[in-house]
Chains A and B, each alone.
Chain A
Amino acid sequence: MKRKKAKAGSLILTVLSAGLAIIFLAPVIWAFFVSLQYEGKQIQSVVSWFSPPYTFGNYLDLIIGSDVAKWLLNSVVVAVLVTVLTLLFSAMAAYALSKIKFMGRNKLFFYFLLGLMVPGEATIVPLFITANNIHLIDTYAGLLLPSVAVSMNLIIMVTFFKGIPDSLIEAARIDGAGEITIFARIVMPLSKAVLSTISIFAFIGSWNNYLWPLLCSMDSSKFTLPVGIPIFAGTYTVDYVKPMTANMIASIPAIIIYLIFEKQIVQGITMSGVKG
């Protein structure tokens, strides 16, 4: 009797959790179905948004006939470059800080730790002035360079590199390998896990960055998707279809990356949250 009751209770909880999952997905599913509708469809009730006929024409229209494709390209270029530079520069510095003994190393590491205390949102005004002084406003360099050197990424890498045995590196040095060779041939290949975690975060972070691109890009040709989409959607006051299509174009790449790398993303978050 007790067992039966427990089983029923468990089933109710499972159904409840599935219901919650559907609520969490509903806005995205709704946005997707809206993007499949023909423009100007009469919406009698909420059901009309989900009913056929469907079309992919809106996607084609936006990619060919609007700025959305350009912003998509900007977003991809910026996110890829941020990711590559983040990996390269953080790993180089982390290698030096963990495997090469040089004067001032500890002081330098302490200096990099300070960045953990600086909230980027609170320095946005002077950051703009600095970027403006060195003529980075409205350039790709301006969009991406401020996101590259992040203390947290460096610290995660230093912690990881310290775990690579020094004997391995000493052996390579005795064999006559230079530091660059050791870095590229030994350290980097051994660090795939941590590098992939950091690159996923750097990519998604850049892809979704809003406040800085909003300030840094004046001309619509330099907009990234998060900056361009609200402006694009603002030009449509009545129709939902085109703005929702733009939203989906901005989201589908991130969703696909998420579904592929879900396990690494979850591990990465857990790691950064626990290790901080």
Chain B
Amino acid sequence: MSRSRKIRDMATGLGLCFPFLALYTVFTIWPVIQGLYVSLHKWSLMGKVKFVGLDNYIKFLSDQKFIDALKHTIIFVALSVPFLVIMALILALFANRPVKIRRGLRIAFYLPSIISVSVASFIAKYMFAPYMGFVNGILHLTGLLKSGSEIQWLIDTNHAWAVVTIMTVWWTVGFSMLLYLSALQDISPEIYEAAEIDGAAKWQQLFSIVLPLLKPTTYLIVMLQIIASFKVFGQIQLITAGGPAGSTKPLIQYIYETGFTKNNMGYAAAMSYVLFAILVVCTLIQRAIQKKGEQKDEA
């Protein structure tokens, strides 16, 4: 290759990469580095105030509000992930049956996922509102709730978690359902036929054949959901505002309030790295699982 061609290729290559490279560097990579610098300072919206070393990192270890927020986030992960995974599997099994409404089922189960978090949260909030809300209304209509009495969904912590979990399952289960569905469609029909000849009933096939074959998909979905649930913010902020009395406030909301309401960005940046570390570890585990699955596919 001639020298001039080499130089020209280099210029074209870098030139074509430049817009992506510039935006990626400024908005994805630079904030990670900048955040470390910010976290070592007392920092307000106006800018740097003073260097405080590792104070911000020592501070959150004994900050009860931070520990509570981390605890709430973990509660949400523990509540939402099992429901999301099981529900995704059930919906996928339904949407995979050879019936006429099959495509309709898939469309219905995924539709909530394309609604924005603020709309989905508001609909959920109104659904669970006392007096005029849909859920209490249905409970009255079916006689499950005595007329004249109302369930105050957002005043009690347990009820508030229930509302947030139900809303999250409704709003986000579609994605995992599609992953399960594509895994189900990869199972060859011959496997079912062989089982049928052996006289295995449908439910036996489910537990002895289908579920074991879905194992890699299940691992993947569990990890993806754990990652997604650790990032919870919008729906809790919009439905419960972290209440009642801060009892559902997750990590991102506490970071957000510390940084932008209380104007303590250095501390908020330091706390962000806890979330960062949790998410990176989860992502690494997820990628390892995925790689293993792909190698198996190729073998």
Contact = CB atoms under 8 A, between A and B. Distances in A.
B124 interface: yes
A119 B279 CA distance: 7
B58 interface: no
B94 A121 contact: no
Contact of A148 (B9, B23, B94, B275): B23
A96 B16 contact: yes
A100 B13 contact: yes
Secondary structure dominating the interface of B? helix
Contacts of A251: 115-116, 119
B27 interface: yes
Contact of B279 (A25, A122, A126, A233): A122
A122 B275 contact: yes
B101 interface: yes
Given A121-B275, A130-B26, A149-B24, A97 B17 contact: yes
Contacts of A55: none
Interface in B90-143: 91, 94-95, 97, 99, 101, 104-112, 114-119, 121-124, 126-127, 132, 134, 137-138, 140-141
Contacts of B202: 6, 9
B132 A43 contact: yes
Contacts of B290: 276
Given A46-B137, A115-B28, A126-B34, A14 B111 contact: no
Contacts of A100: 9, 12-13, 16
A108 B170 contact: no
A247 interface: yes
Contact of A126 (B19, B31, B99): B31
A262 B12 contact: no
B200 interface: no
Size class of the A contact interface (CB-based, 8 Å): 35 or more
A16 B97 CA distance: 12
B49 interface: no
Contacts of A26: 134
Given A24-B109, A233-B122, A18 B101 contact: yes
A273 B179 contact: yes
B243 interface: no
A229 B119 contact: yes
A258 B34 contact: no
Contact of A115 (B29, B101, B117, B238): B29
B122 A247 contact: yes
Interface in A26-77: 26-28, 30-31, 34, 43, 45-47, 49
A117 B283 contact: yes
B148 to A, nearest CB: 13
Contact of A24 (B17, B108, B273): B108
A92 B16 CA distance: 5
B115 A127 contact: no
B134 A46 contact: yes
Contacts of A168: none
Contact of B20 (A10, A92, A120, A121): A92
Contacts of A47: 141
Contacts of A243: 122, 126
Contact of B112 (A24, A129, A230, A233): A24
Nearest to A154: B20
Given A20-B91, A31-B123, A225-B116, A129 B105 contact: no
Contacts of B227: 119
Secondary structure dominating the interface of A? helix
Nearest to A247: B119
B219 interface: no
B276 interface: yes
B107 A96 contact: no
Contacts of A46: 134, 137-138, 140-141
Nearest to A263: B103
Interface of A: 6, 9-10, 13-14, 16-18, 20-22, 24-28, 30-31, 34, 43, 45-47, 49, 88-90, 92-93, 95-97, 100-103, 105, 108, 111-112, 114-130, 132, 134, 145-146, 148-149, 151, 154, 179, 183, 204, 207-208, 210-211, 215, 225-227, 229-230, 233, 240, 243-244, 247, 250-251, 254-255, 257-259, 262, 265-266, 269-270, 273-274, 276
Interface of B: 6, 9-10, 12-17, 19-21, 23-24, 26-32, 34-35, 38, 43, 45, 91, 94-95, 97, 99, 101, 104-112, 114-119, 121-124, 126-127, 132, 134, 137-138, 140-141, 170, 175, 178-179, 181-182, 202, 220, 224, 227, 231, 233-234, 238, 252, 255-256, 259-260, 265, 268-269, 272-273, 275-276, 279-280, 283-284, 286-287, 290
Given A31-B123, A119-B280, A266-B178, 7 more contacts: A20-B105, A93-B19, A100-B9, A102-B13, A125-B259, A126-B38, A128-B259
14 contacts: A21-B101, A21-B109, A25-B108, A31-B126, A96-B15, A102-B12, A118-B29, A119-B279, A121-B279, A124-B259, A128-B259, A148-B27, A255-B111, A273-B182
